[in-house]
Amino acid sequence: MKWVRRLSRSERNSAGCSFSGGPTATPSFTGGPTPSPTAVGDDLTALGTIVAAVPNPQGGGDHDPEVIRDGDMPPVGSADSSRQFDTWDGANTAAEDWMGYVYSTSYTFDHVVFQEGKNFADGGWFDTLTVQVRQGGVWTSVTNLVSSPPYPPNDGVNFETYTLTFDPVVGDGIRIDGAPGGSNDFISVAELRVFGQ
C-alpha cells in the first residue's frame, strides 16, 4: 500500500485547491495533486476525479475530499474527525447523498473498499447503501451487490471498513450512493478505493 502525506490546509490553499460546479452540475474537486497516469494493479482510485453531492461541507471533518484516497485508514473506533470527509452542511437535508470518482475513459469496475468515517449523534452513515456506475452520463445501480461484512445503517462504531462487490460493469464513473442517515442527513467517508480493469 502506498502512503501519501496529506497536505496541511495552508498548503492546500496555496496550491489553489477548490471545488467547481453549480447547482445543476456534478460537483467535483479540482486542483491539488495530479492523479497518477497509470493504475496501481487493479486499483483505479488514483485515476479518477473526486465527485461529491456536497462539495463544500461545514462539519468537523477534513473539508478536502482528497482525504478519501490518501491511504490513511484510521483504526476502528477512532474519534479523529480530521481523518474523514463528512457531508454535514448545516440545516440542509437531502433524500440522497453520494461520493465517488469520474474518469476520462471507461473501465470495468468490480468492487470498492469503503471505510466509513465517524458516526455522530445526528448522522455520518447511510440509511441505505448502494454502488452506482455512470454509463452515458446516467448513474445506474450495480447488480448483485454484496457488502462484506454486512453494512449496518448505524451501529455507532467509527471507521469500519466494508468491501462492496458486484457484477463487473463498464462505466466512466463510480460512486457510493444512498439515503443519508441521522437527523441531519449526512454521510462520512474515511477512504474509498475503486478496483477493476
**DSSP secondary structure, 133-186, as one string:** EEETTEEEE-SS-EEESPPPS--S-SS-EEEEEEEEEEEEEEEEEEPBBTTTTB
Task: Look up the pTM and report it.
Answer: 0.81
> How far is CA 22 from each of CA 4, 31, 122, 126, rounded to the nearest angstrom?
30, 17, 27, 24
**55-90 pLDDT per residue, tens:** 999 988 999 999 999 999 999 999 999 999 999 998
CA dist 138 and 134 (Å) reads 5
What total number of domains does the chain contain?
A: 1
Predicted confidence at residue 39, as pLDDT, reads 66
**8-51 pLDDT per residue, tens:** 433 433 444 433 333 334 454 444 444 444 667 899 999 999 99
Residue 180: give the domain boundaries. Answer: 9-196
Residue 1 in any domain: the answer is: no
CATH code (residue 188): 2.60.120.260
Which residue's C-alpha cell is 452515458?
Answer: 136
Residue 152 in any domain: the answer is: yes
